[in-house]
Structure formats: structure tokens, C-alpha cells
Amino acid sequence: MNLLQVVESERYHFSNEDVQDVFETARNIYKGKFDQVKEIFRERDVKSDVGAMIGVMTDSDLIIERAYESKGGMNMCTALEKLEERGREEGKREMIFAFLKAGAEIRVIKEASGLSEEEIEKLRKEMNE
């Protein structure tokens, strides 16, 4: 089954709850429907191997890590919150890189990002490497 088939897998209903969880969760993640995933797993965890399979299917190292770290089960809501947090952090870094490339003053970047001058300088050095 390829990615397109996973995304369009609504017509499939599996009697095995774990298989259903894998497909339904992967499909919702690909479609950006994180709230729907949170709704499904609000009151329950998924088995670690199910979480790892979801991570593999969605190419999410963070979900795979969380699955392997969990003992017996993982909370998808927590994993998605961490994934969203990581996405915000990466977006913030990209914004700072864009400011630096455009020649913005450190003061402006500091105000926009909330980072210290030291953190901004560290990112500038990282960008120039």
C-alpha cells in the first residue's frame, strides 16, 4: 500500500483495532487533522508497537522515539503535542534565519522571537557553518 492509498483509506475498516488505529491515525496525520487524532485517543493509549508503526508510516522520528520509550503503551495526544511543539520550534528557527539573511538588526529579531542576543548569535553562527 502506498502513501496515496493510506491517505484515501477511509473505505477500509479493519476488525483488528490496532490495524484500524494505525490506518486511521496515519490518515489523519497526513491530512493535518491532529484534533481528530486527539479526540480518538483522548481517553486511551496505543500499544508501543502500534505507535511505532504510526511513526514509521508518517515518517515521524519523534513518534517512533516516544513509542520505543514507552513501556506497554503510549499516549498519542502527548506525542502529537510534542510533534506540534517541535514544528513550532523549527518554524521559529527558520523565521530567525530569514531575518538574519535579510540583514535585520539583532534588536528586531530579539523582539520578534523572544530569544536572547546570545541565542540569536548562536543561530547566526550555525547558519554560517
What pLDDT does 9 receive? Answer: 75
Asked if residues 61 and 55 have their Cβ atoms less than 8 Å apart, the reply is: yes
pLDDT profile of the chain (129 residues), mean per 10: 67 88 88 87 88 89 88 84 85 88 89 88 87
Model pTM score: 0.65
What pLDDT does 90 receive? Answer: 86
Q: Alpha carbon 97 to chain centroid distance?
A: 21
What pLDDT does 1 receive? Answer: 57
What pLDDT does 62 receive? Answer: 87
The total number of structural domains in the chain stands at: 1
What pLDDT does 49 receive? Answer: 92
Range of the domain at 86: 3-128
